[in-house]
């Protein structure tokens, strides 16, 4: 099992960051490897919401199913991701602080099959990919105008 952790500060209010991240359909806006996300369950995003997604890895599509396992607006978003090569459990937390929102991620990645032999390599790649994804989120959210408030 590999643990992948990190953090960043995004210069936006915690509710904005949480709501944007909680809706997986936004991920293709900041993660260039995410090519498709579909919400599979009806209703508002909550515990039990399921997503079907495809990422591109080394030029090949990788399908994954994501289930929200803890939705505590606007502080914690946990999930389980299942794909043919691995299962990932973890959470992203959100805290207001100086400069905006402190966002932390912590994932436990369990490679499957022959990929278990590549655990250390997969962990290193995973850490790099997560850092790139969340840096993309930071760039996207800080470069977009804040949502309009009601008048």
Q: What is the pLDDT of residues 5-17, one digit of tens each?
A: 999 999 999 999 9
Question: Strand 76-83 to strand 86-97: parallel, antiparallel, or no bridges (unpaired)?
Answer: antiparallel
Number of H helices, E strands in the chain: 2, 7
Categorise residue 100: left if φ over 0, alpha if ψ from -120 to 50, beta otherwise.
left
**pTM score:** 0.89
Q: Which CATH class is domain 2-143?
A: alpha beta
CB atoms within 10 A of CB 79: 21
Q: Is the peptide bond before 37 cis (omega within 30 degrees of 0)?
A: no
Tokens 């990422």 sit on residue: 55
Q: What is the pLDDT of residues 65-109, one digit of tens each?
A: 999 999 999 999 999 999 998 899 999 999 999 999 999 999 999
């Amino acid at each position: 099992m590999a643990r992948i952790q990190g953090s960043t500060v995004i210069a936006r209010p915690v509710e904005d960051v949480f709501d944007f991240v909680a809706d997986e359909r936004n991920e293709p806006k900041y993660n260039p490897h995410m090519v498709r996300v579909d919400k599979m369950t009806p209703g508002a995003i909550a515990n039990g919401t399921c997503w079907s997604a495809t990422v591109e890895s080394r030029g090949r599509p990788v399908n994954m199913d994501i289930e929200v396992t803890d939705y505590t607006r606007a502080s914690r978003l946990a999930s389980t991701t299942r794909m043919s090569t691995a299962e990932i459990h973890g959470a992203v937390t959100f805290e207001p602080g100086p400069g905006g929102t402190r966002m932390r991620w912590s994932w436990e990645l369990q490679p499957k099959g022959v990929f278990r032999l590549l655990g250390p390599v997969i962990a290193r790649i995973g850490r790099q990919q997560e850092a790139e994804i969340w840096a993309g989120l930071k760039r996207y959210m800080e470069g977009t105008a804040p949502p309009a408030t009601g008048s």
